[in-house]
Structure formats: C-alpha cells, structure tokens
Amino acid sequence: MTLLSVPPHVITVGAGLLQEALDAQAVPTTAVAWRPPLPGTADALARVLADPRLPAANERAVGRLTSARPQLVGVRRASEVLDLPERMFLHAGPPIDWERASGPMRGALIGAMLLEEYVRDVPSAEEQLASGRIRLEPCHRHATVGPMAGVVSPSMWMLEVRDAEHGGTAYCSLNEGLGKVLRYGAYGPEVLERLRWMDRVLGPVLSAAIELGGPIDLRAMIAQALQMGDELHNRNRAATSLLLRELAPWVVEAAAGSAAEVLRFVNGNDHFFLNAAMAAGKVSTDAARNVPGSSMVVAMARNGTDFGVQVSGLGDRWFTGPAGVPDGLYLGAYGPADANPDIGDSTITETSGLGGFAMAASPAIVRFVGGEVADAVAATRSMYEITLAEHPAYQIPGLGFRGTPVGIDITLVARTGVLPVVNTGIAGRVAGTGQVGAGLVKPPVEAFTAALLALADDRKRSI
Amino acid sequence: MTVGIHARRPRTHVTGAASAAVRPVLEAPRSPARVLAVFPAGAYLEVRTELEPSVLAVITGAATRLPNSVLLAADLPRVTVGDEAAVGDGSVELGRLSVRARRWWDPAPPLGRVDPVRLRQAAPRLTPGEPGLAGNDAIELLAAGCASGRLLSAVTAAERLVGLGPGLTPSGDDVLAGLLVTLRHLGAAAGADRAVWLADWLAATVTYDARTRTTPISATLLHCAARGEASPEVIAVLRGIAGRQELEPARRQLRRLGHTSGSDLLQGISIGLDTVLAMTEAPSPVLVPEAPRPVPAPEAPSLTCAMSVTA
Amino acid sequence: MTRDAVLLRKGVYHDSVTLMRVSRSLSDLPGMRVAIVAMATELNLALARDLGFDLPPADPGDLLVALRGDSVDTATGELDHALARLSASRTQAAADQPPLTTLSAARSPAGLVLVSVPGEHAFVEALDAVHAGLPVMIFSDGVPVAQERRLKLLAEERDVLVMGPDCGTAVIAGVGLGFANVLRPGPVGVVAASGTGAQQVTSLLDQAGAGVSHVLGVGGRDLSAEVGGLSTMRALRMLDDDPATELIVLVSKPPDPAVARAVQEVVETLGTPVVSALLGERDLTAATEEALRALGRPVPAWESWPGWSPTSAYTKLKGVYSGGTLCAEASLIAGAGEFTDYGDDAYTRGRAHPMIDPTLRLEALARVEPGDVTLMDVVLGHGADPDPAASLASAVAHATHHGATVVVALIGTEGDPQGLHRQAAAFREAGAAVFTSNAQAARHARNLL
C-alpha cells in the first residue's frame, strides 16, 4: 500500500475540469483521450470485461500468438497435405458462394477450373461454378491462407510452415508475382502458362531444396526483415532477399539444371516472401485459437465482398461486414472506379502484428500507400491502443526497438473506435484485370461489434 | 497601504504546489527578494526575512523537490541572477509571474514506529558511493563522536564541516543535513530519545552561524534539515531503511542527485543510522563533554525541532 | 430576426462539463435565446426536441449544436473558436499518441486513476485501473451497484482501494482530487462516504490549524448492505498503516446496521483512534471538535459573520443546498423547513453540478419571498465555481432587499482558489449572515424563526 506515501502521478479519464484542477496543483498527470465506445456496445463491454476469465484468457491467447516459432519445413502439393478432393476449391476470406463473389474472386475460380482442366473454356467454368457443383470453402478452415482471391486448387504447391513451439502447421500457396496473376482474378493464357511452370518446375525444385537445406526459421527472418525496412504485407523486398540468400545454394544442389530459372523467378518478385509471412502468421494465430473467454482476434480476412473476423473465444464463427474499397494510389490510368472491394487473407499479417501494424518499420512504402513517414509512425502507435502486447521478436528500430503491436482485442476496438490499420493491394473489379493499385483499407466496424455482442451473449449463457 | 517594491508590471497569475515549510514565509507580509541563481529547471530566491527558509527554490518539471521549494504548474519565467522579486501575502512574484500555491506537501513526513532490528538489517546496505569528503578526518570525528555519544567531538566536527567543500551546497553541509534529518526521523521512529537530543544540539550548532559560514542556499537547507525537512529522495531512503519501501532503488535515486550531493547526504544518513543503532543498543550512553567548553544554547532551535517531528 | 440553426459534427467528442461551459458562453451572447452544445445522446436529443428544434438523425458519437436567437451566425463563429481552442490543446497532446483507454495509460508508471466519464462507461475504465493494481477514484455517478460490488470485490483480490462511484472528493498526500479543498498537511486522516461532509470536516480542521494527512472517499453506497463497506474498511486500514495519520475521522450517513458492525470490528483492531461523524448521531462540526480534543488541540471559535438581522417575524425556512450531506445535516438541525438538494441526480441530469453551475439556485433565490429565511451552502475548493459570489451575491442582495434573510454556510479554506475570506466578504456585503460551520448556520437560521 504505497498510495499514501507520496503525491501520486494521476491518470485522468473524463472531465477536463478535474484535469485542470490537477494541473493547477502542479500534479503530474496522464490524460486519457477518452471518447464513448462504439454505439451499442456499452452493455456488452461491461459484461465481457466483467468476465473474471478475461485477463488470463487474453494473456494466454496473446502469449501463444507471440511465442509461436514458425519454420518453413516444406513445399508440398495441396492435394497431398490438405483435405481437398476434386471439384473443391479453397478461397480467401469468410465463406462465400459464386452468386455473391466479386469479379476477381470469380476470375480466380474460373482460372482454377481451367488449371485443373475440369473444363475447357470459360463459359462452362462459369456454368459449373454457378451450378454449385464445385464446393467452395474458406482457406482458414483448412489451416491455410491465400493472398487476394486466395484460390487453392488440388494441384498447387503449398509452403508448409510448422510452429516449433506449439506444433501446429499452416499452408500458403506460392506467390506468382505481380501483374496479371490468378490471385487478382486474371486467367488468360500467360497466367495459366506461369502456373503450369510453377507446377512443373518451381514447386518440385523448392521442395527438394528445403528437404536438403532443412527448416528455415521464419520468425528470425521476419524479425530481421522488419529491421531492413519491410512491414511484411506490402513490402517484402528485404525478406525475399533473405530467403533467396538462404535458398540459393540448396536450389543449385537440388536441381542445377533449373536453378537459374527458379532463382531468377524468385528474384524477380519482391513479394515472394509474402506467402511465407502469411503462413507464419496463420500458424501463430492458430496457436491462439479457442481460448475460452478470450476477446483476441485470431483472423481477419476478406473475400472481395465481406470482411470477416474470428475471435479466439468464439471458435470458428465468422463476424462480417461489407468489405471496403481501399484508399490509396493507383497504377497507370486506373482509378477508384476500377477498384474491387477489399480481398484476401493477407490481413493475417496485421492479425499477427505485421503489415499495417508494423508500418513504422517501413518508411519506404508510406508514399506508395499515400502518406508521409509521420503517418506510418502514427499508424503503428495507434495500434498499441487496440492490442494486448508488444511482440517480443518483431521490433521496430525507429521506435527504439519497441515490439510491434500484436493481439487485437475487440473490446479495445469497441472502446476506442480505432480500427485495425490494414495495408493492402487493390484488385481490379473486372475479372482478369489484375492489380490496379495499393493502399490502406478500413475494416467494417460491424464485424467487430458483432463479435463483441456474441462474446457478451456467450458470457450471459455461461453465468 | 501598498508600498511598491518596484514598478508594477502586468503579471501572469499561475499556480503550483509548495512545501509546507515555506508557508510561513509565503503568508508573511510581502518582502523583497533577489534571484540568487538560475538553472534550467529552477531558480533560487533570497528573501529579506528573518524566517527560515529564507532562500526559496522556485522549480518546474522534474527538478528535485527541495524542502524549500515552490513548484510551478508553468514554465520557469526568464530571469537572471540579481533580478528583483518579491515573496509574501500568499504569492511569489518572479519575472512576469505571480505564483500562488494550490497544494502543500509535507517535507518532514513522520516515519511511524520502526523496530531497531530492521534498522540493523538496513545498515550494511547503505553504501554511500563516493562522497566528496571521503576520508576527511572531520567526517571520521563526526561519525565517531556521534556513535560513541561524545557530544563535544560531534559538535566540534560539525562546526568544522559547515561550509566545507566546493559548490552551492558544500559536501560538509550535505553530510550534516543527511545526519540531522536521520537523527530526527529515525531517532523518533526507533524511540531513541538520545538521538533526537543529539540532533537538537547539532542543529543548534550548525544553524547558529550558518548564514555567515556557508552559501545562502546551503544555510537554508541546513535550517530545514535541523527541523527534519528534506527532499522526497532523502525521505524515501529513510522510508527504505524503516522497511516502508524498497531501499535499493531509493538509495540509487538519491545517489544520482547533484555532483556529490547525493553521496554526501547518504554518508550523513549512514552516520545517523549508526548513531541511532548505537543509542538503541545502549539505552543510556554516557554523554559527558570531555572538557568544559561553551556550546551554543540549543533552546530556541530545539523547540521548533520538537514541534516539527511527530512520532 | 430569431431563427434556429442545428448542426451536427461527426466524430468530435468533448466531455459534458466542457460542453456545458461552451453552451453557457454561447447563450450569454447578446440576442441568443437558446444554445445547446452537447453530445447527441438520447437524453440531449430529447431535450432539444422538447425545445422545438427540428433534428436530423444523429449518433451518440456526434456533437449536436442547436442554436436559437437573432445572432445565430455570431454564435456559430464563437462556437468554432471555442472548439478550436479545445482541439488545439488536444492536438498538442496528440503529437505523441495519447492513451485512449485507462489500460493504455496504465502501461506507464502512475499512482492513481481518476475516472469521471459518464456513469455507464465508468466501470470499464475503473476495471482497467484495478487490473493494473492501481487505486482508483470514481467521480462518476450513475454506476450500477452490481458493478460497484464487482469492482470492490476485485479490488480486494488485487489489494487496491476503490474510491466511489460517486466519490466527490479525495485528498492524497495533499493532492486534491475532484471537489477538494486546499488543505495544510497534518495528522488527521478522513474516510468519507460523503463528499461535502468531508469538505466540511477538513475545512474546519484546516481553520483550526490541525491539517489533514489524507481524505479517502469511498462513495455514498459503500456502507450499504450490497457493497458491505469494503472500501471503508480498506481505507481505515490504510490510514491506520500510514505514519502521517494520528487520528481518523469517519464521515458517513447512517450505515446499514450489519455493515456498521463489521466496520466497528475493523475499527477495534486499529492502533489509530477513530472519531465517527455519522449523520444523525452528531453533526459534522461537533465531530470535528471531538477530533481536535482527541489530538489535544484547542477548539477555536469557528469563524462566522452573523451580521444583524431585523427582528421582524420570519415565517418560513428554505434550504437551498448544493451538497447532499450538508443539506441533510441542516435539515436535521433546523427540524422544519423546505430543503432542496440541488446536487441530487434529479437536478443534475443534463446540467452541471450546482457547485459549478449556479443557474438553479439563482432561480430559487429569485423566488424568495419577504419573511423567508434562506439557508444555503457555498462550497469552495478545486473544481468548484471559481468565484461563486460573483453570481450568487447579487441574488442574495436582491433577496435581502426584499425582506428576506439569507444565511450562508461557507465551506472552504483560505488556501482555496476562491479564498475563504474574499468570498465571505462578498456575501456579507450582500447582506447575508456567513458561517464556516454548516451546523452553526443551521442553528442560526432556525433561531431566526
């Protein structure tokens, strides 16, 4: 009981009048810039926060998330490692059907139909997909994540990432590069040609290289890349270089004949590492799932139509709101009218404390997403207000090596009205267009409030 | 009846907090004052008054809360050494500012009762670092005189130490201040009446002619220490010794004060603690002046001392 | 030409007291009839609708501005100035991300949390404090008792003190929190379930030169059966453990009998003597005097300026109070009369406390009739009206000129921002009898009848 020994430093939250009275007494204070919680959440907040399990549950959830040690252990065919029978595809974001799917999602599904040779032409692909004979399931349900449309079909090669700490495994497809690519909904001949080459050459060579070289420590690589100016969502240049340096000798040993084309391909794609970072994020957040009572977000994902959120204490339920159109810079003559609503599982990076949350580490991209360096620092700083912890390994040099903000707490989102900052690429709205820009996107607030109300409801039932 | 001290300029009224020790000076009729020294986080004002503290520290921000401080809730005004100022009628007028206190803190908070066993445990953990007068024979004499209860040695040593050393608060004064505050507080807390009695004598000795023997700020701080008033850093160490808070962080914090001030104060505290321990071990030490010698009468200061310390 | 203007500002938040001050400064502009500047809560929207404003759909997070008068444009301009001033001070702080929750603020070292957000949100902020192991003072009222109980039970686990909800005053090592007076440090610790009751006791102690170590508020419901006196018992033990406290005064309305027994059991374990000031048993002034005697200090004659009252027959006693406990004390002593506590929730919905906003009491004084004795409190200190006499004294003068008499219980210290003697002089000049003891003021008023 040290309260009474010295004049206290006072945290004030509320009326300015009382703060002024303390200022007049030269009392050191910290003023909370309080504002009312999101409309309709006050009761739910009181109920959820009164749950005696909450502090320990969130500590456990974020502890598991930040202690995960993701390692790249293999490159394997989807059909071998996933429960992915014929005529079933995985896709990004919360569940969706053809009817509600957006242009790029439809384009990628059509491309997958052609790639798997389930059909010979686009009209029959569309017909099949519309008929409901092709099963569509979210990647997230299969320990998988996919960038943009995130379509995974049985023949694709997947990065296999294992959590050396908790033993989980997660998957992500191989990155195809920029321009016209399947994940942005392009399915022209050059897209399919590239995918077939990846199937024939890239996948098997990488698989053999990693088998020879052994697991690659992604946690260490991500930590290093953050200190080299990546935020691991929109900038992966440093991480890709680090991975390439690690892989190169084993690629040469594994397949001297195709080593040059494989290394040239990886080198030519600054985003090659993104998919590894995503699988690392997925395996880490999966470790934090299903902690009873926890209000921590374990997935944020978009399917081009809806933005969905999953919460540790709420199992596999999705809470969704309409996906917004990103605000950013456009390539060439494209403009906002060409943009599709937000799409992709790549928000797993933000969920695990990277991407928009680590923007202060990446001054190089702030112009690209339409801002100043100060905005990037402010963005990261504001994320500490809605997160449970600072990442012990992922640090930001510019903030004095402070850990990145990690573990989004829906109660803090509702209390502050601050939504997660998401960096993202922008897909063209017409199937087959590809990437049209990149920017920041605002998640829909209702996804978070709906999750909070559900948690409060569960709490009511559990008392 | 208003007697202008200097031409009235428009003043900015600000508020702040003050040590309760300065309340009598602040509430007395207005007296002229002069800026003695200016630092980034504070300024010392010498007030024309018979009261003590006669030097006020007007401070801001994280500056040490000396027992003679007025803490501003605003930035320090631009002033230079020699500037005129005024103190009294409830305010301090300095530069463009007129300051009133909206909060008072106690510079001599009582420690409560403490078990001498606890004091004994704390003694070895009180390493003072590198005090400015390490190895000085007056210090040794002071320590020996206090611990053995030989009043004459203690008083003689104290007289030699007043004003000894360089700087605004000479090392000798800091050692004496640490000793006085410790004897008063720990003496009262441990029920060692002899220690408090010794404090009365030493207080009378050092305050008798402090204003002529050392710098004005140091003299004022000696007067404060004589009444048991100190900065929170010193009080925190005493609380640490008494087991009311962690000792080590408090000790480190005090050591960081000034160039050698912190270490000097710690040295004084350490001598004080040994003395209190010696006096609780031997409840009635033989306190005999070795030779007849005039000592300053302790009555007046000891009265104020007794009033400011509540066990 | 009188016209209406309604504006909604999205995403602008200011606390209600701040906005009420802005509203007041706008309605003071010449030609303005109504100025509402408030967050668009249901309550405030209804208030504006009742006044006949036509409102667009709004969110509670929006700032509602409803203006009526012939100078609406000037008022709008003023509003922008006022809000810009408020935001400027905010942006300065925002250069480095300000904490948005107590949880975030408590990540840096701190000693205490002061919560004054609207009652329905106070629990959440206070919970952050308790989880962080920080003592918390909840100034907010309107917090459900179940939440209070939950907080205080959790505080037992975490070994921290919860002061409130509805804790109006506290003083920690000299730091005045909420409505508190500027007090000299001294040997008396106060545990208070009543804010203005504690202010009366501590102001008198200060006048007697005794001084105060700490005032720990516990909230008006702490000694109810539901809450069980958890904070009172903790506060008593803390003060017992505090070396600066030689004597404890416990100020409260009469507690629940079972809780009173539990508190008494704790009191018996303490090494520090406890003087209780329970309303109905003994008035606050008498309790203060007992405390002084227990400390072996002289009891002074409490400062008062009774003035001269014409001996004409007064017929009616009206109590026009801002402090609940002071009102109840005066009513008990007077035995008869019509007492109104304008600090009660019924009068503070949608407006600031009468210790800040004198409007309702000015209206009450304007209604005084010849032959009335009006008894009122004026409470000084941090947070209170910076110059209550400036508005109230002329209303008092008006009343006394019309054959009524006014008795003021002036609660405060000379060190208070308003200055006890400056305020006393202004009320005396207006013709009021002024007492620093509420009990003496009440007796004086009673004897005039």
Structural domain of residue A193, as residue ranges?
69-279
Mean of pLDDT over chain B: 87
- Note whether residue A234 is domain-resident: yes
**Contact with chain B for residue C382, Cβ under 8 A:** yes
Is there a contact between C243 and B104 if contact means CB atoms under 8 Å apart? no
Q: How far apart are CA C33 and CA C26, in angstroms?
A: 9
A323 and A213 fall within a common domain: no
ipTM of the complex: 0.92
Q: What angle do CA A160, A162, A163 make, to 5 degrees?
A: 155
Nearest to B61 by CA among B49, B76, B43: B76
Of A387 and A180, the one with more pLDDT = A387
Is there a contact between B103 and C243 if contact means CB atoms under 8 Å apart? no
A258 and A346 fall within a common domain: no
Helices (H) and strands (E) in chain A, counts: 17, 18
Tens of pLDDT, residue by residue over A370-422, are 678 888 899 999 999 999 999 999 999 999 999 999 999 999 999 999 999 99
Is there a contact between B71 and A5 if contact means CB atoms under 8 Å apart? no
Residue A433 maps to which CATH number?
A: 3.90.1700.10
Q: How far apart are CA B138 and CA B154, in angstroms?
A: 9
Which residues are CB-contacts of B115 (< 8 A; sequence separation ≥ 6)? B190
Domain C3-94 classification at class level: alpha beta
Number of folded domains that form chain A: 3
**Contact with chain B for residue C360, Cβ under 8 A:** no
A188 and A303 fall within a common domain: no
Q: How far apart are CA A238 and CA A362, in angstroms?
A: 11
A93 and A202 fall within a common domain: yes
Chain C residues touching residue A46 (CB < 8 angstroms): 120, 123-124, 147
Distance, C-alpha A46 to centroid of its chain: 29
Residue type (1 letter), A325: V
Is there a contact between B101 and C415 if contact means CB atoms under 8 Å apart? yes
Q: What is the DSSP letter of A443?
A: P
Assign B291 a pLDDT band (cuts: 50, 70, 90).
very low
Please name the residue of chain A whose CA is at the shortest distance from the CA of residue B73. Answer: A26
A176 and A95 fall within a common domain: yes
Tokens of B153: 């040695």
Contact call for residues A454 and A294 (beta carbons, < 8 A):
no
pLDDT for A134 beyond 80: yes
Assign A368 a pLDDT band (cuts: 50, 70, 90).
low
A348 and A405 fall within a common domain: yes
C304-448 has the same fold as C102-294: yes
Pick the last residue of a domain from A226, A257, A279: A279
Between positions 170 and 189 of B, the ones with CB within 8 A of C are: none
Nearest to A63 by CA among A285, A351, A293: A285
Please name the residue of chain B whose CA is at the shortest distance from the CA of residue A2. Answer: B245
Return the domain boundaries, chain C. 3-94, 102-294, 304-448
Chain B residues touching residue A20 (CB < 8 angstroms): none
Is there a contact between C15 and A14 if contact means CB atoms under 8 Å apart? yes
Chain B residues touching residue A26 (CB < 8 angstroms): 15-17, 71-73, 102-103
Radius of gyration of chain A (CA): 23
A236 and A117 fall within a common domain: yes
Mean of pLDDT over chain C: 91
Stated pTM of the model: 0.89
Tens of pLDDT, residue by residue over A40-89, are 999 999 999 999 999 999 999 999 999 999 999 999 999 999 999 989 99
Assign B303 a pLDDT band (cuts: 50, 70, 90).
very low
**Kind of pairing between the strands at C304-305 and C136-138:** unpaired
Tokens of C16: 């209600």
Is there a contact between A24 and B73 if contact means CB atoms under 8 Å apart? yes
What's the number of CA atoms in the CB half-sphere (13 Å) around residue A185?
A: 28
Termini Cα distance of chain A = 33
Whole-number pLDDT of residue B195: 94
Nearest to A226 by CA among A29, A401, A445: A401
**Contact with chain C for residue B137, Cβ under 8 A:** no
Which residues are CB-contacts of A8 (< 8 A; sequence separation ≥ 6)? A27, C110, C111, C112, C172, C173, C175
**Kind of pairing between the strands at C433-435 and C304-305:** antiparallel
Please name the residue of chain B whose CA is at the shortest distance from the CA of residue C184. Answer: B104
Contact call for residues B68 and B55 (beta carbons, < 8 A):
yes
Pick the last residue of a domain from A257, A279, A301: A279
Q: How far apart are CA C69 and CA B16, in angstroms?
A: 41
Is there a contact between A24 and B102 if contact means CB atoms under 8 Å apart? yes
Please name the residue of chain A whose CA is at the shortest distance from the CA of residue C135. Answer: A3
H/E element holding B45? Answer: strand B42-47
Residue type (1 letter), B123: A
Chain C residues touching residue B244 (CB < 8 angstroms): 243
Q: What angle do CA C89, C94, C96 make, to 5 degrees?
A: 135
Between positions 206 and 235 of C, the ones with CB within 8 A of A are: 213-214
Tokens of A317: 């339920």
Assign B135 a pLDDT band (cuts: 50, 70, 90).
confident
Contact call for residues C59 and C40 (beta carbons, < 8 A):
yes
Whole-number pLDDT of residue B308: 33
A387 and A361 fall within a common domain: yes
Question: What kind of fold does domain C304-448 have according to CATH?
Answer: Rossmann fold (3.40.50)
Is there a contact between B103 and C244 if contact means CB atoms under 8 Å apart? no
Of B15, B105, B244, the CB nearest to A24: B15
Of A2, A23, A26, the CB nearest to B71: A26
**Contact with chain A for residue C98, Cβ under 8 A:** yes
Is there a contact between C185 and B103 if contact means CB atoms under 8 Å apart? no
Between positions 239 and 278 of C, the ones with CB within 8 A of A are: 239, 241-242, 244
pLDDT for A123 beyond 50: yes
pLDDT for B302 beyond 70: no
Is there a contact between A26 and B105 if contact means CB atoms under 8 Å apart? no
Task: Provide the shortest C-alpha distance from residue C113 to chain A (in Å).
Answer: 5
Tens of pLDDT, residue by residue over A279-298, are 999 999 999 999 999 999 99
Domain C102-294 classification at class level: alpha beta
**For chain C (length 449 residues), average pLDDT per consecutive 10?**
84 75 81 85 82 85 87 83 64 68 95 95 97 96 94 96 95 96 97 94 97 96 96 97 96 91 96 92 95 97 86 83 94 93 84 86 91 95 94 93 93 96 96 97 93
Q: Which range has the worst mean pLDDT, A124-128, A178-182, A256-260?
A: A178-182
Chain B residues touching residue A8 (CB < 8 angstroms): none
Chain B residues touching residue C184 (CB < 8 angstroms): 20, 23, 104
Q: What is the mean pLDDT of residues A173-190?
A: 91
A248 and A351 fall within a common domain: no
Chain B residues touching residue C187 (CB < 8 angstroms): 310
Of C310 and A117, the one with more pLDDT = A117
**Contact with chain B for residue A22, Cβ under 8 A:** no
Is there a contact between C415 and B20 if contact means CB atoms under 8 Å apart? no
pLDDT for A112 beyond 80: yes
**Contact with chain C for residue B244, Cβ under 8 A:** yes
Residue type (1 letter), B266: L
DSSP labels, A238-284: HHHHHHHHHHHHHHHHH-HHHHHHHHHHHHT-TTTTHHHHHHHHHHH
Whole-number pLDDT of residue C310: 64
Is there a contact between B104 and C174 if contact means CB atoms under 8 Å apart? yes
pLDDT for B289 beyond 80: no
Whole-number pLDDT of residue B157: 95
Q: What is the mean pLDDT of residues B61-71?
A: 94
Strand ranges (DSSP E) for C234-287?
A: 247-252, 274-278
Interface test with C, best of B99, B103, B235 (most C CBs within 10 A): B103
**Contact with chain B for residue A9, Cβ under 8 A:** no
- Note whether residue A43 is domain-resident: no
Chain C residues touching residue B113 (CB < 8 angstroms): 243
Nearest to C324 by CA among C168, C124, C112: C168
Of A6, A25, A26, the CB nearest to B232: A6
**Contact with chain B for residue A256, Cβ under 8 A:** no
